[in-house]
Amino acid sequence: MSAPLDPDRRAELVAGLAGVRGRLAAACAEVDRDPRTITLVAVTKSFPASDVASVATLGVTDIGENRDQEARAKVAELAAATWEIPPLTWHFVGRLQTNKCRSVARYAHVVHSVDRVEVATALAAGAERAERSVDVFAQVSLDDDPARGGALTEDLPGLADQIAGLARLRLLGVMAVAPLPADPDAAFERLAVVAERLRADHPDAVAISAGMSADLEAAVRHGATHVRVGSALLGRRAPIFG
């Protein structure tokens, strides 16, 4: 059966998705891009598994989570459910600590937040134990403050080489979060330059994960292939998770 959902909540999700799709289409038209080249990742942190199932039935099957404990619970709940939903691609988008890598490697198809060699090594070891492979983005700091997550730009080549050399990991490209209160256009323009330099050594690393609810248009203007959208899609209702 389909995921249980009250009509009012379904209407909220339909409206949210229509708004996000409209914004993506307009942003792509502005720079002559095809919206189909952009992966919309629905960031469902703090919302229930039924919302995950529902957005999947609306056509969004790339699901982002940023806390391992919550993500594991949802993966398990949906795996055991009788709801008829399309296959999901799970994205881990939160900052990743080495002690969580083994767990994340068991279910995540894509990890957006690999910002240190230690994280890459631990994630690869976890993937080896799980006998699976994980696609990863190298996270870059756009304000040169590694305390907020992300490798410094001068450290990116070494990190990328390390990721590319690990058998269970595949380097997709770069990820970044626009720093506040900086201009997102300037931030993502810088990210585009970083991405271009990375492709000189890793020509298959063509993806750019950038842009969230507030700044997805700027990300699209500067080449984002993946946008991570939470509130613009799911709303700001009181979450069930803390």
Task: Give pLDDT < 50 ranges for the chain.
Answer: 1, 242
**82 located within any domain:** yes
**2 located within any domain:** no
In angstroms, what CA-CA distances link 133 with 27, 96, 206?
33, 17, 18
Rounded to two decimals, what is the model's pTM? 0.95
Cβ burial of 73 (10 Å; 0-12, 13-18, 19+) is middle
Which pLDDT score is estimated for 3? 54
**180 located within any domain:** yes
pLDDT per position as a tens digit, 19-44: 999 999 999 999 999 999 999 999 99
Which pLDDT score is estimated for 1? 47
> How many distinct structural domains can be found in the chain?
1
Measured CA to CA, the distance from residue 116 to residue 82 in angstroms comes to 39
Which pLDDT score is estimated for 180? 83
**12 located within any domain:** yes
**214 located within any domain:** yes
Cβ burial of 68 (10 Å; 0-12, 13-18, 19+) is buried
Which pLDDT score is estimated for 240? 58
Which pLDDT score is estimated for 237? 64
Which pLDDT score is estimated for 6? 75
Q: How far apart are the first and last CA of the chain?
A: 29
Domain containing 202 equals 7-234
**18 located within any domain:** yes
